[in-house]
């Protein structure tokens, strides 16, 4: 099982070269400093989720014949990304608005082998007694119009006494390797066109999403056939 741990830059507000119809959203200097302080609790909460997922992976590796987890990825949204999302929601670009309205500042992603593993992993995360699941979105059973498939949970985490009992949301996405490949491609295309993807590319991405879903099903069928042969 491989693991990718990455944190987006929080020392500045530099951006990626996007095709934008208007200037990038930005925090004022005072709000930017407040945001940096606010992100400390998110990093601590994300570390707790990282530990839980690592423990889950170790359990699978020790007691399951085939570990369904391929790898993990972790990230804290960059200030520019946070500012963009606040503007998209018509909210003030302030640290207070970010903390009050965004549930995906801290994020973890679990990449698994097959679609059937997604619900199993979600059930285990949901059963953690010290996590409170405040939101779930099943884009596997009901994909987005774009073709996007993934399972999203938002868990409220208590980072400890240093934060006076505060809780902090961490978004956990669970998807297969094939779903992740599609999502990565769609993200690149969307950034290339500043969020306004041409119709012909949108249709092509939707078709690819359907093909990838079929591939997931067929690969799982092959895995089941192999297991039958080995019995």
What residues are labeled active site? 171
- Report whether 168 contacts 157 (CB < 8 A): yes
Q: Which residues of 46-55 are buried (b: 16+ CB within 10 A; e: fewer)?
A: bbbbbebbee
Burial classification of residue 110, based on how many CB atoms lie within 10 Å of its CB (0-12 exposed, 13-18 middle, 19 or more buried): buried
Q: CB neighbours of 122 closer than 8 A, spacing ≥ 6?
A: 136, 151, 153, 174
């Amino acid at each position: 099982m491989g693991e990718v741990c990455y944190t987006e830059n929080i020392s500045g507000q530099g951006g990626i070269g996007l095709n934008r119809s208007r200037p990038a959203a930005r925090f004022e200097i005072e709000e930017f400093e407040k945001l940096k302080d606010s992100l400390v609790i998110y990093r601590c909460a994300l570390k707790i989720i990282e530990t839980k997922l690592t423990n889950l992976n170790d359990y699978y590796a020790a007691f399951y014949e085939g570990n369904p987890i391929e790898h993990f990825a972790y990230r804290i949204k960059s200030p520019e990304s946070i500012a963009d999302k606040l503007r998209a929601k018509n909210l003030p670009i302030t640290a207070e608005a970010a903390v009050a309205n965004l549930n995906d500042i801290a994020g973890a992603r679990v990449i698994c082998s097959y679609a059937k593993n997604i619900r199993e992993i979600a059930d285990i995360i949901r059963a953690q007694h010290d996590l409170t699941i405040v939101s779930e979105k099943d884009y596997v059973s009901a994909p987005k119009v774009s073709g996007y498939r993934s399972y999203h949970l938002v868990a409220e985490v208590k980072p400890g006494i240093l934060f006076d009992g505060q809780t902090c949301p961490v978004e956990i996405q669970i998807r297969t390797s094939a779903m992740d490949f599609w999502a990565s491609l769609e993200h690149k295309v969307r950034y290339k066109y500043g969020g306004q993807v041409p119709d012909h590319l949108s249709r092509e991405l939707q078709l690819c999403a359907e093909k990838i879903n079929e591939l997931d099903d067929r690969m799982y069928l092959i895995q089941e056939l192999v297991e039958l042969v080995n019995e």
